[in-house]
């Protein structure tokens, strides 16, 4: 781990320990066994004091889940060598937290939401699509609720992103697209996210999931945002937030034909990706 940093991405040691032990419990115990001391006793977690995973006070930690999720991913990947049938491939596993705020004569409003991505696949199932990471518990906000509560933006698209899940015998979950039309001037946008550069890895020849990215469209021109950035938005701007997919499990060539047909029919996998990633001729198979 690196030294602790000045920004809010540090993970308190309690969160680091929780991620490691939570991963061990998820992979090695039955879901009907409640969390108890017998699970924690065999596990020892260490991290240098003053590091990203064990910061000294005072240290900003609001966005700790980014680092904490990477602990979960690292332990899961290590366990894959021992219990390959009980682990999952790396998922998007990232807190993507957009903020849209606006001040008017009526007061100040802030919209904030955690937008989920794709889970990694396992030896038996595809990854879940559009869900919070394994260490989080945030559900999605219905578009109708946002329309009633906020008058300075409108959600014009909320969809799963085709081909975002990593290919495999079992496919990674899909990422999500949220598109916002800005309805008033001087709306401030801020975000923190991750997975803009490094894809979630697949397991056992599974393909990686897709990257996240965010854009602002203004006057016909599209600009890319960084994973941690803020910007002022004006009437007519279109903000698009795209989360990544999860990694696949097993070789794509082993995917059952009926499952791939279903993916293409449902729009989760394009015919082009079915041919390029899975080596399938969907048209010829029908």
Domain that holds residue 77: 1-84
Residue 30 φ/ψ, nearest 5 degrees? -75, 145
- Specify whether 49 is located in the same domain as 179: no
- Specify whether 141 is located in the same domain as 211: yes
Considering the domain boundaries, does residue 130 fall inside one? Answer: yes
- Interhelix angle for 65-79 vs 13-28, to 10°? 30
- Specify whether 66 is located in the same domain as 100: no
SS3 38: helix
Considering the domain boundaries, does residue 264 fall inside one? Answer: no
Considering the domain boundaries, does residue 167 fall inside one? Answer: yes
Residue whose token pair is 């701007």: 237
- Specify whether 131 is located in the same domain as 200: yes
pLDDT at 67: 94
Considering the domain boundaries, does residue 262 fall inside one? Answer: no
Bridge partners (DSSP) of residue 213 are 242
Considering the domain boundaries, does residue 157 fall inside one? Answer: yes
- Domain final residue, candidates 29, 58, 84: 84
pLDDT at 283: 60
Q: What is the mean pLDDT of each run of 10 residues along the chain (286 residues)?
A: 93 96 92 89 95 96 93 97 96 94 94 95 97 88 94 97 98 98 97 94 98 96 95 98 98 94 96 92 56
Say which residues have a Cβ less than 8 Å from residue 8's Cβ, sequence separation at least 6. 60, 61, 62, 63, 64, 192
- Domain final residue, candidates 50, 84, 118: 84
**What single DSSP character describes residue 3?**
B
> Structural domain tally of the chain?
2
- Specify whether 197 is located in the same domain as 68: no
- Specify whether 127 is located in the same domain as 184: yes
Nearest of 121, 125, 133 to residue 165 by alpha carbon: 121
- Specify whether 79 is located in the same domain as 127: no
pLDDT at 282: 64
- Specify whether 111 is located in the same domain as 236: yes
- Domain final residue, candidates 38, 63, 84: 84
- Specify whether 150 is located in the same domain as 226: yes
- Specify whether 66 is located in the same domain as 132: no
- Specify whether 92 is located in the same domain as 80: no
- Specify whether 100 is located in the same domain as 75: no
């Amino acid at each position: 781990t690196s030294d602790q940093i000045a920004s809010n991405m540090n993970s308190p040691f309690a969160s680091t320990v929780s991620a490691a032990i939570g991963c061990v419990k998820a992979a090695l115990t039955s879901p009907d066994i409640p969390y108890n001391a017998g699970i924690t006793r065999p596990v020892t977690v260490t991290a240098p004091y003053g590091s990203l995973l064990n910061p000294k006070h005072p240290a900003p930690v609001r966005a700790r889940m980014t680092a904490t999720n990477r602990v979960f991913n690292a332990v899961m990947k290590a366990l894959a060598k021992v219990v390959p049938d009980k682990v999952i491939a790396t998922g998007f596993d990232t807190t993507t937290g957009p903020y849209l705020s606006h001040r008017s004569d009526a007061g100040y409003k802030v919209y904030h939401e955690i937008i989920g991505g794709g889970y990694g696949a396992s030896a038996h199932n595809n990854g879940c699509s559009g869900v919070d990471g394994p260490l989080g518990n945030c559900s999605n906000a219905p578009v109708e609720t946002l329309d009633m509560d906020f008058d300075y933006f409108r959600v014009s698209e909320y969809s799963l992103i085709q081909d975002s899940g990593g290919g495999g015998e079992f496919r990674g979950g899909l990422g999500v697209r949220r598109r916002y039309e800005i309805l008033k001037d001087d709306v401030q946008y801020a975000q923190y996210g991750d997975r803009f550069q490094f894809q979630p890895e697949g397991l056992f020849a599974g393909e990686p999931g897709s990257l996240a990215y965010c854009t602002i469209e203004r006057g016909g021109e599209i600009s890319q945002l960084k994973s941690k950035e803020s910007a002022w938005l004006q009437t007519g701007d279109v903000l698009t937030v795209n989360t990544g997919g999860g990694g696949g499990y097993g070789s794509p060539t082993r995917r059952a034909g009926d499952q791939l047909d279903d993916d293409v029919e449902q729009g989760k996998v394009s015919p082009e990706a079915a041919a390029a990633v899975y080596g399938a001729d969907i048209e010829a198979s029908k």
